[in-house]
């Protein structure tokens, strides 16, 4: 772990625990539930195995992450957030919302968990008035349940017994649907249910407004297509 800040402020104390590189992205990957080490590596391909192992050990020592056994039928070791670790979600949502207004600096694909976080941070409650749906979202082998009700959205890793809508697509394709303006009929996607309901669901997520400043003028105005999640 990096050298600690000699500062009693709560922010400095938080950064002492989760301020190192990859720490908050590990938390992001665990917000929807426990994951095996191999699944964490798939969601964070830029982190080396040794780096990921070290960060997990530090977060476990700090009480943010813990190990557990998944099963039956197979008893495999996985990592999950502690209750204290889950308390980081509002902070991650705020940081993601703030950071999304800056210039895009990577062409890499979003992980499924990063896409779920992006959905939460870009959800437009005003556009969801008088609209309710339970959508089973199948993305690259991951199963998410998206629930919209009373102007709120919830995204969890779960299977619904009888969803109103099922959408199956690659994570990159779904990203292009909600943030890239690609219409349903032009995408490689399977929809089971009312197509109009699916189209309205996709319109509930708004691309962030770029922040003012030199970076906005130099990149956003010249390359508007790069402003996407």
Residue of 76 and 216 predicted with greater confidence: 76
Name the architecture of domain 107-202.
2-Layer Sandwich (3.30)
Q: What mean pLDDT is predicted for residues 224-229?
A: 32
> Can you give the pLDDT at residue 203?
94
Whole-number Å distance between alpha carbons of 229 and 227: 7
pTM: 0.84
Closest CA to 56 of 32, 80, 88: 80
Residue-wise pLDDT for 139-156, tens only, equals 998 999 999 999 999 999
Q: What mean pLDDT is predicted for residues 199-221?
A: 70
Residues of the chain with CATH 1.10.10.10: 10-96
Least confident span in 2-11, 101-110, 198-207, 213-222: 213-222
Residues 6+ apart with CB under 8 A from 211: 101, 102
Beta strands (DSSP E) in 49-161 are 65-70, 76-81, 133-139, 142-149, 152-157
Residue of 107 and 98 predicted with greater confidence: 98
Q: Is the dihedral of CA 92, 79, 35, 46 positive or negative?
A: positive
> Can you give the pLDDT at residue 51?
95
Q: Are 81 and 27 in contact (CB under 8 A)?
A: yes
Residue-wise pLDDT for 115-126, tens only, equals 999 999 999 999
Q: pLDDT-based confidence at 219, cuts 50/70/90? A: very low
Q: How many beta carbons lie within 10 A of that of residue 206, not counting itself?
A: 14
Residues 6+ apart with CB under 8 A from 209: 101
> Can you give the pLDDT at residue 116?
94
Q: pLDDT-based confidence at 213, cuts 50/70/90? A: low
Residues of the chain with CATH 3.30.1050.10: 107-202
Residue-wise pLDDT for 21-67, tens only, equals 999 999 999 999 999 999 999 999 999 999 999 999 999 999 999 99
Which pair of structure tokens corresponds to residue 203? 């319109």
The CATH class given to the 10-96 domain equals mainly alpha
Of the chain, the percentage scoring pLDDT greater than 70 comes to 90
């Amino acid at each position: 772990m990096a050298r600690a800040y000699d500062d009693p402020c709560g922010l400095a104390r938080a950064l002492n625990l989760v301020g190192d590189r990859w720490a908050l992205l590990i938390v992001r990957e665990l917000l929807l539930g426990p994951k095996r080490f191999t699944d964490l590596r798939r969601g964070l391909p830029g982190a080396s195995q040794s780096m990921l192992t070290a960060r997990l050990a530090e977060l476990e020592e700090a009480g943010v992450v813990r190990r557990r056994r998944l099963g039956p039928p197979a008893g495999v070791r996985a990592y999950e957030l502690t209750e204290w670790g889950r308390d980081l979600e509002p902070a991650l949502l705020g940081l993601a919302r703030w950071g999304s207004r800056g210039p895009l600096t990577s062409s890499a694909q979003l992980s499924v968990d990063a896409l779920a976080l992006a959905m939460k941070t870009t959800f437009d409650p005003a556009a969801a008035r008088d609209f309710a749906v339970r959508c089973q979202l199948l993305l690259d082998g991951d199963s998410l349940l998206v629930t919209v009700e009373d102007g709120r959205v919830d995204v969890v890793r779960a299977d619904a017994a009888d969803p109103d809508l099922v959408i199956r697509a690659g994570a990159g394709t779904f990203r292009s649907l909600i943030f890239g303006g690609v219409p349903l009929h032009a995408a490689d996607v399977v929809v089971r249910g009312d197509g109009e309901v699916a189209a309205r669901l996709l319109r509930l997520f708004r691309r962030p407004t770029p922040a003012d400043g030199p970076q906005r003028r130099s990149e956003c105005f010249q390359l508007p297509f790069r402003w996407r999640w």
